Structure 1
Amino acid sequence: MAERMVDRLSLTQLRRLQSLASLRKSHSGKISVDQLLHKVRALQDPEIFAVTSISALACTV
């Protein structure tokens, strides 16, 4: 998943995505894919959302 994101997102976009790391701490370790994608969409960057959602889908299949 990380390799796909590094290849497709800029450093700035990856840092914005990294800002969501605090979600893990606030949700006792695990959050659902739906919750994650909701938070990613809140970043208001369609490219980050597209890459993240495709990567999440690839991981679940």
Structure 2
Amino acid sequence: MLACLVILPLSGCATPEARTRAALERTGLSRPVSACMASRMVDRLSLVQLQRLGRLGRLSQAGNFDEFLRRTRALGDPEIVGVVSSSGLICAVRN
């Protein structure tokens, strides 16, 4: 019972990262690159920014990273664009 009480709050913490990773994978990025980017994005963007990115609509249907980045620019938030583009570059080189 105690273990469940400890694990339950922790499982909620991973949700934004898991959602971000899944959305990135649906754009066609590899699993390792998506996981790397999601980790960086969740650490560097606020929950509000992540929600704005998620509400952009059809990000998962972007088809490739260039289109994904183009759609993120439409938000008009330079911090989001900077984090997404730098994360994409760093994670592509690492993986």
* TM-score w.r.t. length of structure 2: 0.53
Structure 1 runs (4+) greater than 3 angstroms displaced: none
The residue correspondences of 1:1-61 to structure 2 (distance < 5 A) are 1-20=37-56, 22-24=58-60, 27=61, 31-61=63-93
AA aligned to 2:40 is: R
Describe the superposition over 1:9-39 as per-residue Cα deviations: whole angstroms up to 9, x where unpaired: 1111010111245232xx4xx6121111110
Aligned residues with identical type, % of pairs: 54
AA aligned to 2:44 is: R
Q: How many residues align?
A: 57
The CA RMSD measured in Å over matched residues stands at: 1.7
Unaligned runs of 5+ in 1: none
- Of the two, which has the highest radius of gyration? 2
Unaligned runs of 5+ in 2: 1-36
